[in-house]
Structure 1
């Protein structure tokens, strides 16, 4: 019985059992292809996620970056590799440099404050109304 237990414990990848601190380079394990979207009558970048980032899907991860708030009628928050002036929407970075964040509780951070966000990673290849990377059930702390 003990051998079976040890086998099960050590055969499960470690990052599925504990929170992993990812770096922005981990999110570059993706390639993009322009795909036409009939609903929006426009082309969007469709991601194909690589095996490394796929291995974290559904896992609790954390990432450090700049807080972005795009809330208007609905709450819409992101953490970015870059500050607002050079993020994916405003500068030359790509969609792999932002993560949509769905917080457990509404955050009180200001744009471009550096935070560390922890949540469950979801990979999104099909819903163009959301980012390719989403952290759900997220919490954050301010980095001084």
Structure 2
């Protein structure tokens, strides 16, 4: 009986471990960049080389906490940032790895600089300079404080 109980407990624990992966900003910082010329823009852009750990998470559900930034008046670009708006990537505090584009299933009622926990499917973007290197799709989330 004791062995059966341990077996059931093991199954329950292993089943919950299969869910989303918790990401940190340190995980996302494991990226290298090289300059690459994009003829359509007649300019060089930083071309990302993702770490193996991050590449292995492509298409998987992940969770990441950060600052909610609704920077587009049309609501078409929403960002999860390592830093609040006053010290975010666009203000020169950090690189592209400190901001993630988030695309919600249905947009929540968060305000800029709310600290939130977001769950979504990780997409890695190397070639589309119109979007961020890291994109979370089909997102849901809640406010932490």
TM-score (norm 2): 0.84
Larger radius of gyration: 2
**Secondary structure in 2 matching 1:89:** helix
**Secondary structure in 1 matching 2:58:** coil
Distance 1:107 1:70 in 2: 15
Partner of 1:137: 138
User: How many residues get paired?
Assistant: 130
Partner of 2:101: 100
Q: What is the Cα deviation at residue 120 of structure 1?
A: 0.3
Q: Is the 8 A contact 1:66 1:79 kept in 2?
A: yes
Superposition pairs of residues 27-106 of structure 1, within 5 angstroms: 27-73=28-74, 75-106=76-107
Distance 2:113 2:130 in 1: 23
Q: Cα–Cα, structure 1 residues 123 and 21, in superposed 2: closer, same or farther, change >3 Å?
A: same
Distance 1:82 1:126 in 2: 25
